[in-house]
Chains A and B, each alone.
Chain A
Amino acid sequence: KNEVEQSPQNLTAQEGEFITINCSYSVGISALHWLQQHPGGGIVSLFMLSSGKKKHGRLIATINIQEKHSSLHITASHPRDSAVYICAVSPPGGYQKVTFGTGTKLQVIP
């Protein structure tokens, strides 16, 4: 079974700061997902990566398959970015059984 670890567990930042959240996993994957969950529940899929780098607005996600590591960066952070960010991985073949990390709780202070 894949072990997915995220760091840090909690992160407080000032508005405007550059933020990095890290994710490491233990065995090969077919894809890695970054998810965002606001208080109250709903989960939004931010990125799905199998290689390289993706950018959407102020969010950038990178993955290094050889090192089994991914990072999520938020540029010019804003209080509305406050949420829990979850890394999840899909195994080769069994793509329906996603393994989730424990999440990083981000608070951006004005």
Chain B
Amino acid sequence: DTEVTQTPKHLVMGMTNKKSLKCEQHMGHRAMYWYKQKAKKPPELMFVYSYEKLSINESVPSRFSPECPNSSLLNLHLHALQPEDSALYLCASSPPGGAADTQYFGPGTRLTVL
């Protein structure tokens, strides 16, 4: 299994809703990432988990809450989002060790906040 999967593919939510995005990989990778990508812009790093511990939080608002329950699974919990949070949310993973490892990206979840 050499892929990163993300569910759902599309999500529409209201500003008062609570929803979660899910990311899964079974490649034995120990670093997992959440990115946010607005149209025609490069991805922006949100969070990094390394060995299931949060290692980087790029000053993301608390309405985004990441969770890494195990080495294969990464969640992003969403609550009280704003319309400007509408974007493509990408998950990635990379192998353990090495100074710079290829990041394997998932297909993304396209989020629309109404």
Contacts and interface: CB of A to CB of B under 8 A. Distances in A.
Question: How many interface residues does chain B have, given as a range?
Answer: 20 to 34
Contacts of B102: 33, 45, 48
Given A86-B42, A96-B31, A41 B88 contact: yes
Contacts of A25: none
Contacts of B41: 102
Contact of B105 (A42, A48, A95): A42
B36 to A, nearest CB: 12
B111 to A, nearest CB: 11
Interface in A19-46: 29-31, 33, 35, 40-45
Nearest to B9: A41
A69 to B, nearest CB: 18
A90 interface: yes
Nearest to A86: B42
Among A30, A40, A41: residue with most chain B CB under 10 A:
A41
Nearest to A31: B100
B103 interface: yes
Nearest to A89: B100
A47 B110 CA distance: 25
A101 B42 CA distance: 7
B108 A42 contact: yes
Interface residues of A, number: 26
Given A31-B100, A41-B90, A92-B99, A100 B107 contact: no
Interface string B18-52: 00000000000001010001001111010010100
Contacts of A44: 105
Contact of A45 (B48, B55, B103, B108): B103
A41 B107 contact: yes
Interface of B: 31, 33, 37, 40-43, 45, 48, 50, 55-56, 88, 90, 92, 94, 98-108, 110
Interface of A: 29-31, 33, 35, 40-45, 48, 50, 86, 88, 90, 92-93, 95-98, 100-103
25 contacts: A30-B100, A33-B103, A40-B107, A41-B108, A42-B106, A43-B90, A43-B108, A44-B105, A45-B103, A45-B104, A48-B100, A48-B101, A50-B100, A86-B42, A90-B100, A93-B99, A95-B99, A95-B100, A95-B101, A96-B33, A96-B48, A96-B56, A98-B103, A100-B42, A101-B42
